[in-house]
Amino acid sequence: MKKIAFLLDRLGNRRHYLQFKILKKHGFIPYALVFEEYLHDANIPEDLAHFHPLPFKRNNVLRKFSFKFLKYLINFVKNEKIKVVLIHRWRFLRYSTLTKLFYPELKIIYHIVVGGTLKHPGRKLFFRLFKNKIDCLLVNSLALKDELLATGLVKPGEVELLYSSFDLSTFPENLSKDKARTMLNLPQQAFIFGMVAKFRPEKRQADLIKAFNLVHKDIPKAVVVFVGDGSTRKNCETLVKELSLKDKIIFVGKVMQEIVPFYLRAFDVLVHTSIREGMPLAVLEGLASGLPIIATDAEGVPDIFATEEPIGYLVPKEDVKAIAQALKKIYYLPKDEFELLGKNAKKRFLTAFSPEAFEKRTIEIFSKYF
């Protein structure tokens, strides 16, 4: 029985669900271990994996060490005969490596998806002591690989790369831009710069607002559409009022994930101004939708732009003037050059980040342990 457990914080994401689908297709049995507080009334595709409720409060497990949780995890993997456990969070790594002391046949895949994981001295010490318990170190960008190598704790051959992807089944193939805008009540004649991201400090939507303010008089048909919600949204709305841009910037708010592809279809350009990433799915979605991209060089994004065929503009993070220049430049591109960026973007996705590429790499990684 090829059983694999994903130890998840909250409900997981589209990358996980695609992996579940791939693993089942190839004869594996995926388990999703989720704190039960997140499973109540959750709308999750249970046919993709065995969603197992963990009878613990998340904070009691992740904010402090829980011997009860460790005992529970040891018993679970033994009783269910779990062969591989995949984790993302550092604190889950502690539990998993200690579990392996009692269940040596367990294989551990540690998938690092954000930067700064080994900055803390205590983490470095723990990693040094228990590194031999980790069977596979995965990262989702070259920047994260370089960050790990810079610690001196791992060698190049000990870190594997797995780019993210997602299921394309919700992406409309035959929906025109005009119809998408009508359906979403977006201005038909505008040139739309769109950003899809939670409003969090690291996403820096305010940088896009400030950049747009610098050039909006020079690009008269342009508007900015923000899709998402979060802690920094109110500050961004206040900034828009202060800059008298209310007629030029639209806050859509949070939408269901299935609706996001329709917004992408309505955009002209995807903009992503984050200062901290792993591999941003929002940018990959823009590629998959055939949109030219303006993005800051946060971790993972340079990997996306690592192609000889131009897909847009990569600018330094936190550089408002550079973002503004990119907005203006792409707005005034000749039609054929602009359309070529979109075609190249779609090609880039299909070449490096498609579900098929992700499937091939996923099976290569997991098959080693069975």
Packing angle, helices 233-242 and 205-215, rounded to 10? 20
CB crowding 238-272: b at 16 or more within 10 Å, else e: ebbeeeebeebbbbbeeeeeeebbbbbbbbbbbbb
Q: Do domains 3-165+355-369 and 177-353 have the same CATH topology?
A: yes
Average pLDDT over residues 180-205: 97
Rounded Cα distance, 122 and 124, in Å: 5
What are the residue ranges spanned by the domains of the chain? 3-165+355-369, 177-353
pLDDT, one tens digit per residue, over 226-274 is 999 999 999 999 999 999 999 999 999 999 989 999 999 999 999 999 9
Which pLDDT value is given to residue 11? 86
By the 8 A CB rule, do 292 and 264 touch? no
177-353: CATH topology: Rossmann fold (3.40.50)
Banded pLDDT at 54 (limits 50, 70, 90): very high
As given in the structure block, the two tokens for residue 113 are: 């998806």
Q: How confident is the model at residue 40 (pLDDT cuts 50, 70, 90)?
A: confident
CATH of 3-165+355-369, one of 3.40.50.2000, 3.30.70.1230, 2.40.270.10, 2.60.120.10: 3.40.50.2000
Residue 41, pLDDT above cutoff 80: no
Q: How far is CA 295 from CA 178, 211, 237, 284, in A?
A: 25, 13, 22, 11
Q: How much is the pTM?
A: 0.89
SS3 271: strand
The per-residue pLDDT for range 319-333, each reduced to its tens digit, is 999 999 999 999 999
* Location of structure tokens 């190839």: 26
Is the model's pLDDT at 358 over the cut of 80?
Answer: yes
Identify the pLDDT of residue 9. 87
pLDDT digits (tens, 9 = 90+) for 124-176: 999 999 999 999 999 999 989 999 999 999 999 999 999 999 989 889 988 99
Task: Give the model's pLDDT for residue 21.
Answer: 94
